[in-house]
Amino acid sequence: MFNVSMDQFISLTALIFLVLIRKSISSSSPSSLPSSSSSTSSTSTSTSSLITSSLSSSTLSSDISGSKYKALIGGKIELPCNVSTSTNNDAVTTIFWYKGDTQGSPIYTVDARNSSTNLDSANRFTSEYLKGRVSFNISVQFAFLIISPVREEDNGAYRCRVDFRWSRTVNTLVYLEVIVPAKKVIIADETNQIVESLGSYGEGTSLKLKCLAYGGKPAPLVYWYLNQDLIDDSYISKVTEDGLVTINDLFISKLGRNDLNKLLSCKTFNTNLTQAINKSLILDINLYPFYVKIISIRRPLSADKSIELQCDSKGSRPGAKMTWYLNQQLLKSWRETNSVINGSTSSSSILKFVPSPADNGALLTCKAENSRLLNSSIKDDWILNIYYKPNVKLVLRLSSHPSEINENDEIIFECIIDSNPVIQEIGWLFNESPLLPDERRGIIIDNTTLVIKVAQKNHSGDYSCFAVNIEGKGFSNKATIKVNQTRKLQVRC
């Protein structure tokens, strides 16, 4: 039984509470991965040990000696040291921190021998070992040596020695365990080749993989997850020429379309202080395309006008290779895009196309295929309807003397028209002015035919025709005639 006063009991209780808070802050938060009930038990045991250690100490100044702390490599740790004085007229003169061998040189020193009672103004000295990653908070009764970032070699025992002007020297001994995650994690296939993606697996095939975690202190757990579901928690640890290796072998008998785009993850962790190390792969299974369609509105297209036509495909993994053909001839001017929506892969190809009148009635084809799978090509066809303004040609026909025109000859012009859609208007021009039927002058117009019954000298000049549809107006070539009284007239077309 302890013989302590009420004031000492209150001070001791407050001190224990402070130490527990500091220790809680210095620990990392638990991992979100599955853990057994032993985690809670371990925490309770640690807390109980600390309280027992505090109560069993012979004096208040050494109540934290023997405490154990854990820190993640690369993280931060606060190691406590009691710098409180037992009397109001006493003061700290020097503080020395040692690591491991207590006979060695200190790793951190506070020298207040030539300063006032305020330790903040004391001289401080840091060894090369801690340079650039240490600080010492001495503003409270329990000062804390703060190390950040923590290194693997920081593991071990630490002693804080405090010298006073009048009181005896106080030593505080604490232990630090540095948690080291696995150095690296890889996923390999059954031939031990490192796997970065699963693009080489086809629908319906089996999958064999292994996850290897190298190093770690303590040895890590190695689990396989499919999305958020744990699918394999069996692993073994063994020592190889590369050091400690922990291995989990995974076997999936048959990959299906429903597995597409699922996240296959190997997760490794050691203790609840360690954040899990993930190595993940998307199940990039090779799948056949099951849909392809030219989705652009199948309307007539205008000749000589650029248009973009879109073809979509679904189901292929990786995205389908899209190609366009016109009458089975490969076209070249297109661009492709791939996207994943709700786990389904979609591919789109946009063809930049400038149709010509000659393409009217041609067969336009869009094909989609998975280049990694045989016999995967599917297609969609479209018979094109190309609108173009009329192509017009004027032909001169003479009833006699085909090489010359004489007075009183009959002259016949034929306006030959190629048009899609149908023409809306046909017209004739004489010397670029509209030419209308005139029976008195013997000029007869019947749609695409112009007849001059009796040629006269004033009929000499330039003749042409034109046709109009919804795409525009097309003009013919000019035919120039000259009527000569000598009936020796030349013809130029």
pLDDT at 46 (0 to 100): 33
- The total of other beta-carbon atoms located within 10 Å of residue 124's CB is 16
Question: Would you tell me which CATH number, out of the four given (3.40.50.300, 2.60.40.420, 2.70.170.10, 2.60.40.10), belongs to the domain 389-484?
Answer: 2.60.40.10
Q: For residue 179, which of 216, 230, 223, 212 has the smallest C-alpha distance?
A: 216
Instruction: Provide the terminal-to-terminal Cα distance of the chain, rounded to the nearest Å.
Output: 132
Backbone angles phi, psi at 19, to 5 degrees: -65, -45
Rounded-to-integer distance, Cα 316 and Cα 51, Å: 63
Q: Return the residue matching tokens 């099951």.
A: 290
Name the DSSP letter for residue 303: T
Distance of CA 432 to CAs 178, 201, 385, 391, Å?
99, 72, 33, 18
- Would you say how long the chain is, in residues? 493
Rounded-to-integer distance, Cα 186 and Cα 463, Å: 84
Kindly provide the b/e burial profile for residues 196-215, where b requires at least 16 CB atoms within 10 angstroms of the residue's own CB: eebbebebeeebebbbbbbb
Q: For residue 397, which of 449, 441, 440, 439 has the smallest C-alpha distance?
A: 449
Q: What is the pLDDT of residues 356-395, one digit of tens each?
A: 999 999 999 999 999 888 889 999 999 999 999 999 999 9
pLDDT-derived band at 117 (thresholds 50, 70, 90) equals low
Cis peptide leading into residue 149 (ω within 30°): yes
Give the CATH superfamily of 68-179.
Answer: Immunoglobulins (2.60.40.10)
Question: For domain 184-286, which architecture applies?
Answer: Sandwich (2.60)
Q: What is the pLDDT of residues 35-62, one digit of tens each?
A: 333 333 333 333 233 323 332 333 334 4
Q: What is the pLDDT of residues 257-307, one digit of tens each?
A: 888 889 999 999 887 777 788 999 988 888 888 999 999 999 999 999 999
Q: Return the residue matching tokens 């020298």.
A: 111
Q: What is the pLDDT of residues 248-259, one digit of tens each?
A: 999 999 888 888
* Per-position DSSP letters for 465-481, written without gaps between them: EEEEETTEEEE---EEE
Question: For domain 291-384, which architecture applies?
Answer: Sandwich (2.60)
> Which comes out higher in pLDDT, residue 333 or 329?
329
pLDDT-derived band at 312 (thresholds 50, 70, 90) equals very high
Q: For residue 124, which of 82, 92, 95 has the smallest C-alpha distance?
A: 95
Asked, colleague to colleague, whether 184-286 and 389-484 share their fold, the answer is yes
pLDDT at 490 (0 to 100): 54
pLDDT at 321 (0 to 100): 92
Q: For residue 211, which of 154, 265, 130 has the smallest C-alpha distance?
A: 265
pLDDT-derived band at 100 (thresholds 50, 70, 90) equals confident
Backbone angles phi, psi at 220, to 5 degrees: -80, 160
Whole-prediction pTM = 0.50
pLDDT-derived band at 102 (thresholds 50, 70, 90) equals low
Is there a contact between 361 and 384 (Cβ–Cβ < 8 Å)?
A: yes
Chain center to CA of 82: 52
Query: Domain ranges in the chain?
Result: 68-179, 184-286, 291-384, 389-484
Cis peptide leading into residue 80 (ω within 30°): no
